[in-house]
Amino acid sequence: DAMVIQNPRYQVTQFGKPVTLSCSQTLNHNVMYWYQQKSSQAPKLLFHYYDKDFNNEADTPDNFQSRRPNTSFCFLDIRSPGLGDAAMYLCATSRGAGSYEQYFGPGTRLTVT
């Protein structure tokens, strides 16, 4: 049974056209993360929520925004995608802060044309 679900699995958008990626979880975890992963690289943290508290990484471009309307759902909004934003976007959850296992979703592959 899928615990962290990401939709869609594949997304194609045009340069500059806003796009939203979604993530849902059945684990009731407090923390949700969004990562960007480019080919042959480690996941790069964009931001995370601890409950409703939003934490943005210092080097995350303003072009990336996030919403967490409730415990189960979290969204990644890319306001004006550029070619450099093409990547795999991974959502993850963890029960709490600190030394807890992260559960990753299958990812959304974003293509920008």
Partner 1 sequence: GENVEQHPSTLSVQEGDSAVIKCTYSDSASNYFPWYKQELGKGPQLIIDIRSNVGEKKDQRIAVTLNKTAKHFSLHITETQPEDSAVYFCAASMSGGSYIPTFGRGTSLIVHP
CB of 3 to partner 1, least distance (A): 11
CB of 80 to partner 1, least distance (A): 26
SS3 content of the chain, % helix, strand, coil (to 5): 5, 50, 45
CB of 38 to partner 1, least distance (A): 12
Among the listed residues 63, 55, 98, the one whose alpha carbon sits nearest the alpha carbon of residue 80: 63
CB of 83 to partner 1, least distance (A): 21
Q: In whole angstroms, give the CA distance from residue 31 to residue 68.
A: 10
Tell me whether residue 73 or residue 106 sits nearer to partner 1 (CB atom): 106
Radius of gyration (Cα) for the chain, nearest Å?
Answer: 13
Tell me whether residue 19 or residue 23 sits nearer to partner 1 (CB atom): 23
Tell me whether residue 33 or residue 64 sits nearer to partner 1 (CB atom): 33
* Residue 48 contacts residue 60 (beta carbons within 8 Å): no
Size (the chain), residues: 113
Tell me whether residue 4 or residue 19 sits nearer to partner 1 (CB atom): 4
Residues that bind partner 1 (CB under 8 A): 4, 33, 40-43, 45, 48, 90, 92, 97-107, 109
